[in-house]
Amino acid sequence: MAGDLEQVLAAVDEANAADPTFEDEGEGSEMPAALLYGRRMSSELARLFGDDVSDVLKIASRGQHIERWKIARTSYPEGRAGYLKWRRDQGRIHGEKLGALMADAGYSEEECERVGVLLRKEGIKRDDEVQMLEDTICMVFLKWYFPAFAAKHEMEKVLDIVGKTARKMSQDMRDRVLREFDLPAPLAERVTAA
């Protein structure tokens, strides 16, 4: 029996609709932040790679931040080590949650385990689906979240983040960033250098 993609996506949306943080989705309308992020991920995945991708990749994209607010970043130590531990824990927990939703919807054990591989980013730069997910994450960040990030930080920090983001992307996506975004010269140089 094949899994029911729509059942899983609806379950992800239902879980993320409980996010207590709201975000402007445009035209003065607000939506729970995790729900909005998940929908942006699905939309961007389809825009970048079309609809002919695996259900597992579609689910990983939509649920990449499922119930993310439940594990606060502030519950981990300050600094890079604390941040990385928080991110690893989030990836593991999100993979387990999505795997359970997928099992309930009829997906195989292998598919349920695979979604965790994608969310933990195991095989980035070597596994096509992991890279597609990472490219989607980076494009969503640049398209919807980067301007607010850049406004809050000094230019050196912004340049550092753009460089790190670009290094995680495939060459094709870096090329698309340069075509699709009107980046100031210093930022474009960081993308090119990656």
pLDDT of residue 159: 85
pLDDT of residue 28: 82
pLDDT reading at 61 higher than 90: yes
- The model's pLDDT over 135-192, given as tens digits with 9 standing for 90+, comes to 999 999 988 888 888 889 888 888 888 888 899 999 999 999 888 987 777 777 877 7
Residue 191 near residue 177, CB atoms below 8 Å: yes
Closest CA to 61 of 121, 146, 148: 121
Q: What percent of the chain has pLDDT over 70?
A: 98
CA–CA dist 119, 64 (Å, integer): 7
Would you place residue 2 in the very low, low, confident or very high pLDDT band (cuts 50, 70, 90)?
confident
CA–CA dist 1, 20 (Å, integer): 36
